[in-house]
Amino acid sequence: MSTTSEQPGHRADVVIIGGGSAGAALAARISEDPRRTVVLIEAGPDYPAERLPEGLLAPHLLADPDHDWGYTARATDRAPSIPAPRGRAMGGSSSVNAGAAIRARAADFAAWGDRYGIKGWSYEEVLPVFRDLENTPAGDDAYHGRTGPFPIRQWTYEELTSPLRAFVDSAADLGFRRNDDFNGARQDGTGGYPVNIVDGVRQNTALAYLTPQVRRRPNLTVLSDITIDKVLIEDGVARGVVSASGTVFRAAEVVLSAGSYGSPAILLRSGVGPAEDLRALGIDVVADLPVGRRLQDHPFFHSLFALAPEHQTMTSAFQAHLWLASREAQAGELDLSIVATHLLDGSFSPTGGAILLAAAVTRPESRGSVRLASRDPHDAPVIDNNYFSTARDRSRMLEGVKLVRRLASAQPLAGAVAAELVPGDAIRSDEELEAAIATGISTYGHPTSTVPMGGPWDEWAVVDESGAVKGLEGLRVVDASIMPEVPSTVTNATTIMIAEHIARRVYGS
């Protein structure tokens, strides 16, 4: 067991735990005030921009195993253990994701207010923040920013590989509208992704926000390779954090930005969470709150196709998709997404090339959980995605996978595809397809809602609209975990916006 030691120099106005999509952005913004001392602590490694490893440069479909936490999760009873990738490096999951940069929709934010009583997060209130954080040369000025720190580039139809152009054309021929700006006025339809990839390099938040100029600020200290065990809470007030090795970092305010798995785990080890779970592990209860009880993530089913010999051009980047309303969608929802991309290695394909068409339910009803396996900060949390716990989630996923097959059999995509590899032609009936989905399901990689925001009457809320943990002082959570439900698209850009929005509201940045 480690001994606790307090380092005299480790004191700050604000200590931020986690240098990911939210933490890096928040540290950069609130340290703009030279009177405020900020310490940013990341569990993974930190690299100078000029020495970033290849795995953190090129956009990959799967997390770089050298910079991943190595977590697994239960998906369904038929898929009891699937990878649950999360980035473990400065920049967090923005350092290892596929670089897709689509914002949450206006309807997503409206649900936050209508269902959970959250104020200050309407689309009209967050759109200026999205614009200010973005720099892009494309799109309507009403929706886009030109000078922000986060670069976003829109894949055009001409930039797509020939199989992906065929995907877009087949979707359009089936009646879906073409969309050249998913961050614009309308999000339904098919087209190229907006991405935070510039000249083939994923622009993570460590690059975009923790620039050399920012890192030179005398009031900002950036630390890496330090795993945080718990928050030091005395008489209901957060006074700092304790590392796994026992070092105490004192601060007037603690901000957890360790992500939808890391932030709840730290809270639970600190005695903040469901009292019965804490007592079962011998943890003293500081605040009985429903931490980890509302996990949501997008279920993601991969259909794989071999490419025809004349359509072998591939790229590892997410390039195109189709966003639509299912037959069971509620008014205003876009609850299905079909992702079209390639794999890094087509060697498993009999033709040497492959295309992945993956269906995701983007407005799931199912909720899962994150719990502690033990009090040891080095032990992985117990993650249960609990996919398909409702019949509506199951039927919408089936609809999405069947739509993939329709697309693959429609021209011109049918001419670019040689064969269906997964689930395969032997799977024909709905029952067989449902079984294949339940067994082969994976995560889209967008966990949220484990430390959810909520209004005063929301019994599931752990934090308020500014991320402050209810019933405690000096403790805030700022990351994807505070979203009350998963938005209907990828989460990275929205997570960055959350940090920017709270920086303005709380710290005047």
Residues acting as catalytic residues: 446
Q: 407 in helix, strand or coil?
A: helix
Q: Which two three-digit tokens encode residue 221?
A: 């200290």
Name residue, tokens 């709905």.
Answer: 430
Q: What is the dihedral of CA 470, 474, 477, 478, to 10 degrees?
A: 130
Q: Which two three-digit tokens encode residue 452?
A: 């959810």
Q: Which two three-digit tokens encode residue 265?
A: 């785990």
Q: 443 in helix, strand or coil?
A: strand
- Residue 324 and residue 334: Cα distance in Å, rounded? 5
The bridge status of strand 475-477 relative to strand 247-256 is: parallel
The angle formed by the CA atoms of residues 256, 258 and 263, to the nearest 5 degrees, is: 65
Do the Cβ atoms of 395 and 84 come closer than 8 Å? Answer: no
DSSP state of 187: -
Q: What is the dihedral of CA 49, 55, 58, 60, to 10 degrees?
A: -140
- Residue 212 and residue 479: Cα distance in Å, rounded? 24
The angle formed by the CA atoms of residues 490, 492 and 47, to the nearest 5 degrees, is: 140
- Residue 414 and residue 452: Cα distance in Å, rounded? 44
Name residue, tokens 């032990």.
Answer: 379
CB-based contacts of 69-72 (< 8 A; 24+ apart in sequence): 69/261, 69/380, 70/380, 71/261, 71/380, 71/381, 71/383, 72/380, 72/383
Do the Cβ atoms of 445 and 85 come closer than 8 Å? Answer: yes
Handedness of CA 238, 483, 459, 296 (dihedral sign): negative
Q: Which of 434, 426, 450, 425 has its CA nearest to residue 369?
A: 450
- Residue 119 and residue 8: Cα distance in Å, rounded? 40
Q: 460 in helix, strand or coil?
A: coil
